[in-house]
Amino acid sequence: MTADTRREALKNLVSTDGISFAATPILIGPAPYFDLAGEEFGSRLILTIGADGSEFCLRPDFTLPIAIEHLKSGASTPAAYGYLGPIFRQRTDGPAEFDQAGLELLALPDSDAALDRVIGFARAALDIYGIASPAIRVGSIDLFEAFLASCDMPDVWRPRIRARFGHPRAMTRLLDRLADPHKPMEGPKGIPQQGIADWVSELMLTNGLSLTESRGPDEIARRYLEKQALEAAHVPSHTIDLLRTYLAISGDTDQALSAIAELAERGGFALSGAIEDAAASVAQLRNSGRLSGLVFDAGFSPRLDYYTGITFEMTGKDGAVLVSGGQYDRLLKRLGAETEIPAVGCAVWVERLEASCGAGEAGQ
């Protein structure tokens, strides 16, 4: 099969019966990416300004534009969207423009069947490029969130730990900080909480700083008070140890989930339901995709907090990610839907597949 034939087969895969081919605009508003994907992803956007001063970015992915357009037709309307086209991101290596293909299933009533369909799509894409045995890493956001909810700690820390899930370095820094004895913050002694914003305003004006540019006094005061509350909230050392142990679990899926069950028992956590759900999803991934050698990585998650449930990535022999995906039931609600809407999808890194396929043919 030639490169052109493979590309044509991929086009057919993303626009077959029952799939609407999504042709999203290349120029889109960047606000949803800053709001939902965070500063790390936002720093990779390629920004431009329109003639009227409006800010745009070159499309960095298809998932958010597809979800935004889907909301206009009704968030609870079942739909399947396929895509194939260029996306644009600043990268430390490689071109800033590259092609992605993918499938997004939104609001389908049977979430298990939807996951099966996405896994089957990923398998079919790999088959087009002759990738028979990719390495597969699997994670479960629901399982981590259930574990985190069971941990003994002040509630103020749970969202901050959750926000760092999938960011190993940031998580390590946070846990290291929590493991150190807390030192009280120095601050405006004798000033009541309701007066801190005024104190900040006066300090800013004294130093010639604008009260309207960048962060204002109210936001600075709020963050100061929030940080005080965090510093005063102690996380027990045994909780930090449990989190470190959980996040380090990785290996054969059955063995990894057994290790999590043992850890939960040691901590007195009731996680059997969440572990069973994760095991069922992993089995579904294995069977629907005709895959073997899956690795369950307890600390694995996309760096986007609207993901839920099972997530996965499939890599080639050089370790490059060829397919990545998972469930993201929170996204449509975060974009304005009244409730969470079942959603699952995957993205195919086309040029990596083409390079992997070419390398394989060269070695034959």
Binding annotation for L-histidine: 61-63, 89, 100, 104, 306-307
* Residue list for the binding site: 61-63, 89, 100, 104, 306-307
Contact by Cβ (8 Å): 278, 300: no
Residue whose pair of structure tokens reads 């083409």 in the numeric block = 354
Helix (H) or strand (E) holding 106: strand 97-106
Residue 282 amino acid letter: V
**CA 276 – CA 194 distance, rounded (Å):** 48
Asked whether the beta carbons of 325 and 61 are under 8 A apart, the reply is: no
Contact at 8 Å (CB) between 106 and 81? Answer: yes
Tokens 């304005």 identify what position? 336
> Which residue from 360, 362, 363 is spatially nearest to 134, judged by alpha carbons?
360
Task: Report how far residue 244's alpha carbon sits from residue 123's, in angstroms, rounded to the nearest whole number.
Answer: 33
